[in-house]
Amino acid sequence: QSAKTADQGKVLRVGSETTFAPFEFQDEKTKDYIGFDMDLIKAVGKQMGMEAQVQSMGFDGLIPALEAGNIDVAISGMTITDERAKKVNFSKPYYKSGLSMVVKADNNTLKSFKDLEGKRIAVQIGTTGASEAKKIKDVKVREFNNAPEAFIELSSGGVDAVVNDLPVNEYYIAQAGGKDAKIVGEPLNSEEYGIAVAKKNTELTDKINKAMDELKKNGEYEKIYVKWFGK
């Protein structure tokens, strides 16, 4: 509790790539950054007596920004991986995800990941989707700055499939205009999202974990989850 008082009113500098609905995206009217991650980091900040201020940046710029000390945390649907954990600390996992594939709604030949051999795939640069897609035999992987651009490429026929996080694919198809697309096959893997913090900032990682425990205990996490994902 004493730490809480010390940090009162301090700004928590948050980095995120904000075109990843329903985790982080811009409200068309207010231009605010909204989504599951945005509500979560605001609540975590509040719990620590800090005000979360979000800066939008490229996904592949988040870890460098943490290393440079330009932001305090990154929350961006970021999967906890061993490779990233060499460069940054992660909070405890806060969301279970996984990769899935999206094809055109009228495509009846691509049914699962094994059908992607030799195909053209769009991904977001710097993501787990990008690294998994590159492992497929004879593929042509095209990397885009964000997921919406990858979906546009699919829509215009420039690629055969998009490999991206399942909940984002689901949101795109159900609510973000992806009427001409569908998810096929089983998820490729399971992944967990974590909040990333600079290596040297171990104290902050501990505080974030404590704040998250508290939000789970007091029902706030559950409220935010239900708001964005339903039951």
The answer to the question of residue 153 lying near ligand ARG (CB under 6 A) is: no
Q: Quick one: 70 or 146, whose CB is closer to ligand ARG? A: 146
- Is position 169 an interface residue for ligand ARG (rule: CB under 6 A)? no
Asked if 220 is part of the footprint of ligand ARG (rule: CB under 6 A), the reply reads no
Binding mask 98-127 for ligand ARG (x = CB under 6 A): --------------------------x--x
Options 36, 38, 76, 113; binder of ligand ARG; rule CB under 6 A: 76
| 180 C-beta neighbours (distance < 10 Å), count | 12
- 24 part of the interface to ligand ARG, by CB under 6 A: yes
Q: Alpha-carbon distance 221 to 99, whole Å?
A: 23
Whether the Cβ atoms of residue 9 and residue 202 lie closer than 8 Å to each other: no
Q: Quick one: tokens of 52?
A: 């979360």
Applying CB under 6 A, which part among 76-84, 113-121, 180-188, 210-218 lies near ligand ARG? 76-84
Q: Which is nearer to ligand ARG, 83 or 138 (CB)?
A: 83
The correct pick among 89, 91, 128, 205 for binding ligand ARG (CB under 6 A) is 128
Between 147 and 198, whose beta carbon lies closer to ligand ARG? 147
Adjacent-strand bridge partners of 96: 192
Cβ atoms < 10 Å from Cβ of 187: 16
Contacts with ligand ARG by CB under 6 A: the residue count is 13
DSSP bridge partners of 50: 10
Footprint (CB under 6 A) of ligand ARG, residues 46-65: 59
Q: Does 39 bind ligand ARG (CB under 6 A)?
A: no
Write out the two tokens for 7: 């940090």
Work out whether 132 is an interface residue with ligand ARG (CB under 6 A).
no
Helix and strand numbers, DSSP H then E, in the chain: 9, 14
Return the amino acid letter for 99: L
Of all helices (H) and strands (E), which one includes residue 63?
Answer: helix 62-67
* Least distance in angstroms from the C-beta of 23 to ligand ARG: 6
Position 77 contacts ligand ARG (CB under 6 A)? yes
Q: Return d(Cα 127, Cα 223) in angstroms, integer.
A: 28
Contact 33, 18 (CB under 8 A): yes
**Furthest-apart CA atoms within the chain: distance in Å:** 60
Nearer to ligand ARG, 107 or 176 (CB): 176
Smallest distance from ligand ARG to CB 5, Å: 33
Cβ–Cβ < 8 Å for 127, 98: no
Instruction: Point out which residues bind ligand ARG (CB under 6 A).
Output: 17, 20, 24, 59, 76-79, 124, 127-128, 147, 165
